[in-house]
Structure 1
Amino acid sequence: MYSNRLIFKTSNDDEIFYLKDTILINFGVLRNGISTSKLNSGTNDLYNSVFNQHLSQEKIDYLENHDICQYLINECNSLNIDYKYSTGLITLAEMKNVSIVFKKFKNMEVTAVVTAGVRTNSSRAGDEASYWEDNGEFHFGTINIILLTNVCLEKSTLTEAFMTVTEAKTVALNNLRIPSQYSNGFATGTGTDGVAIFSNRDSQNILTNAGKHSKLGELMAKAVIEAVSKAIRKQVWITNKSQSNALVRLNRYKLDINDFYETLDEDKLEFIRQLQIDSKKQDNVAITSSILNLIDEIENNLIKNRMLMIWRLK
C-alpha cells in the first residue's frame, strides 16, 4: 500500500510517514500532549514526534525478556528521532491498514490516525480479567489512536479530550455491535488500547473545553468514530454489512452450529447452507436482535424476567 513515503500532511506541517511497519509523525509545530505509552507517558509539555508500530513475531519474542520503555527508546534511535521528545504506541495491527480522518470547523482542525483489530482482544469494561499483572507482564495494544489538533490545549483540557476520544472509540465499536471476547456483552474497547493526543503550543487559539458539548469535542469524536470504523474494516473486515447477520449477532453467546442442527432430521450440509442464507435475511436479523436486546435488558435489570415470559405467551 505504502512504501517509506509521506502519506499525509496537516496544515501545521505535521508529516505522516509510512515506514514499513511503522507510522511516524514528525510534528511541524511545538506540541504538548497526553499519551498512554510507556515512553514519556502522561501529560508532557514538549513532543517533537509520535509513532505507531506493528510488532513482528521477532519483536514480540524480543519483548518477552526486555523492558518496553528501553525497546521504544531503541526504536526512536533507529527512526532517527529524539526519544526525550517522542512517544510511541505498539500493536499487532498492520500499519498498511491505518486510517486517517481529517475534520475542520472554521479555524479548528482535528486529524485522527488509527489502527485497529478487534477479533481476539475485544472486551467490555467490567469483564472478568484475562490476566493479572505480576512484575510487569506485557500485553499488546490493539486499537491505537493518535489525535492531532491545530489549537492549543492546557493539561486539564487534554485530559478532557482523552475522555472524549475514549468514549468515541466505544461508540464506533457499539455502532458495529462488536462483541466482547470475555463475556456476552458488547465490547467497549480492547484490553490494551493506546491513545496519544497532541495540541499546538504555537497556536494563540487556546481552547478550554474538549467535552461532548464543545465543537472541538464534536470534531474529535466524529474523527475518531470514523477512523476507528475504517481501521476495523481494513484490519478485520468487520462492517455494517457483515454485522447484519443473525448468526453474527449470536456469536457473543458462543453458540455452536450443532446447537441449531442436533434436533433436526435432515442433511447437515444442506441445513448449514440454508442457515447461512436465512441468517442474512433482514427479518431474521431484526427478530434475533430484538430478542437479544430483551435478554440484555433483563441481565441489566431493566426488565423483569417474568415480563419476557408473559411476552412469549402472547
Structure 2
Amino acid sequence: MLLEDTDRYALRRQGRYLYADFKRPHRVLSTCRVNGGVREDLTHVANHQSCEGVGHLVPTGTDLSCEAVHVRACAEVALPSATTALMATAANMQCAVLGHAEYADLSVTVAATAGVLSNATRAGDPAGWHEYPEGSRPLEPAPDSDVSPGERGSGTIVTLVFISQPCTPACLVRAATLVTEGKSTAVLDLRMPSIQSPGLATGTGTDQIAIAAPLARDDDWERHWAGGHNTLGELLGRATHDAVTRCLLLQNGVCAELRRSLCSALGRHGCHEMALCERARAELGPETALLFERNLLAIIHDPQSAAAAYGLAEIMDLTRAGVLHREVARESILNQAALLAAAVAVAPERFAEFRDLLRHRYALEPADLAALAVVIGFAHKWI
C-alpha cells in the first residue's frame, strides 16, 4: 500500500512493515542500533511490528543478536540490510498515522506508531535495567509497578520524520529534540500515567526516532536550526503531536474524551476503581456500598467530578515538585477533596459541610482522602 509519494521518497506499508524508499540521497539521524547515528548512505528507513505486545515467545535456537535480527527482518520485506535503518515495535502498522505540517516551501511529514498503556515512563523515573558489555540485565529489586513483567515493554512510540529541505547534521539533532517534545506533549495532554512512578508520563521506555532530510544539491542551501522559535521547529512539533495523538486512539483506544474520568486523574496516585470500592465497603452499609459499586462507571465519568479530581491531582503533583510547600498543600488538598465530594453529590452549595466531614479524617494520605471524598459525596447525594 502506497501511503505517500513525493519527489524525495515513497512511503509504503506492507504487512507488518512501514518503510520509505528514498528517491534521492538523504541525511538520516536515527536511534537504530544497526545503521543508526548520522548516515548519508541509507536507501531506506523502516518501522515494523517485531512481536506481539504481551507474551510473545521466540522459538528456541533463534539468533537474537542485533545484527541477525536486523538482517532477518529486512529480508522478510526485501529491504537491503546494509542500507536500511530499521526500528521495531509491538504496535500494529495498521494503526500508523501520518502527520503533516507545512509553511511556504517547507513541509514535514511524521509517520508514527504509538502505544503507551504498559510501558509509559517519565523522564528520570527509576530504571529497571542496566547495560553491560554482554547486554542489559534487570536491576534488583525492580521498580514498583502495577504492570506484570510479562506486560512490560509492549508500548513504544516510533516516529519516522521527513523534512522536505536539506538540513545540517546539527539541525537534525535539534529537530530530534522538537520531535521528542511533540511526542511528550501529546502524552502529557492526555495525562497518561507513568507505570514507574506516580508522575505523568513523557513517553515510553523504548521510544525510537529517525529523521531524514535530502542532501543538498548544487543550488540548495542547508537549514541550520530547528528551534521552537522558527517555522521548522513549529512544524516538527505540530506534526508529531497530531500523529502521536491519533495513534494512541487507534492503538490503545485512548483519546481526550475517554481520559475525562476521576480515576484517569487520580489512579496514578492510588485512587483507582478498586480503592474506591474498598473504601465504599469500609464506610457504607452493605446495600449502599453495593449501589456504589454498581454505579461506579457513571460516578467516575461525571464531568464535574473528573474536573475536581484533576484539580486535586495537580495539587499533589505541584506539592511533589516543590511548587507548593507541604504546610499549605495539606489544606489545599482538603479543600479540593471537599470540592470533589460536593461534585459527586451534585451539591456545590454543601462544600463547607463536606469539608467539615473530611477535616476529621485529615490525617489520611491524599489518595485515601480522595477516595473517602468520593464515597462521602455519593452517600450524601440522595440526602
TM-score, normalised to structure 1, is: 0.92
Q: Secondary structure at the match of 1:16?
A: strand
Q: Any gaps of 5 or more consecutive residues in structure 2?
A: 138-152, 336-354, 356-383
Equivalent residues of 1:141, 1:194 under 8 A apart? no
Identity of aligned residues (%): 23
Who is 1:176 aligned against?
190
User: Which portions of structure 1, spanning 4 or more consecutive aligned residues, are displaced by more than 4 angstroms?
Assistant: 57-60, 62-65, 138-141
Equivalent residues of 1:90, 1:141 under 8 A apart? no
Within the candidate set 257, 277, 286, 2:307 is matched to 286
1:259 deviation in Å? 3.6
Flag the 1:59–1:198 CA change in 2: closer, same or farther, 3 A.
farther
Which residue identity does 2:23 align to in structure 1?
A: G
1:30 deviation in Å? 1.1
Q: Secondary structure at the match of 2:91?
A: coil
CA RMSD of aligned residues (A): 2.2
* Separation in structure 1 between the aligned mates of residue 235 and residue 257 of structure 2, nearest angstrom: 26
Which residue identity does 1:36 align to in structure 2?
A: T
Which residue identity does 2:68 align to in structure 1?
A: Q
1:179 deviation in Å? 0.4
Who is 1:38 aligned against?
33
Q: Secondary structure at the match of 1:219?
A: helix
Equivalent residues of 2:261, 2:306 under 8 A apart? yes
Who is 1:123 aligned against?
121
1:281 deviation in Å? 1.7
Who is 2:285 aligned against?
265
Which residue identity does 1:55 align to in structure 2?
A: S
Equivalent residues of 1:95, 1:115 under 8 A apart? yes
Who is 2:98 aligned against?
100
Who is 2:58 aligned against?
61
Equivalent residues of 2:116, 2:155 under 8 A apart? no
Q: Secondary structure at the match of 2:21?
A: strand
Who is 2:3 aligned against?
7
Structure with higher Rg: it is: 2
Compare 89-98 and 55-64 and name the one that shifted more.
55-64
Which residue identity does 2:168 align to in structure 1?
A: E
Who is 2:322 aligned against?
301
Within the candidate set 185, 188, 204, 1:190 is matched to 204
* Separation in structure 2 between the aligned mates of residue 59 and residue 252 of structure 1, nearest angstrom: 27
Equivalent residues of 2:100, 2:108 under 8 A apart? yes
Are residues 1:201 and 2:215 paired? Answer: yes
* Separation in structure 2 between the aligned mates of residue 283 and residue 68 of structure 1, nearest angstrom: 50
Who is 2:371 aligned against?
none
Give CA-to-partner distance per residue, 1:225-264, whole Å, 9 cap, x none. 0000011110001100010111121221243243432322
* Separation in structure 2 between the aligned mates of residue 281 and residue 199 of structure 1, nearest angstrom: 47
Which residue identity does 1:75 align to in structure 2?
A: A
Give CA-to-partner distance per residue, 1:168-219, whole Å, 9 cap, x none. 1111100100100111000011001100000111451411101111100100
Equivalent residues of 1:39, 1:73 under 8 A apart? no
1:273 deviation in Å? 3.1
Flag the 1:12–1:273 CA change in 2: closer, same or farther, 3 A.
farther
* Separation in structure 2 between the aligned mates of residue 27 and residue 260 of structure 1, nearest angstrom: 59
| Greater fraction of residues in strand | 1
Who is 1:82 aligned against?
80
Matched residues, number: 309
* Separation in structure 2 between the aligned mates of residue 275 and residue 159 of structure 1, nearest angstrom: 48
TM-score, normalised to structure 2, is: 0.76
Which structure ranks higher in relative contact order (CA pairs < 8 Å, sequence separation ≥ 6)? 1
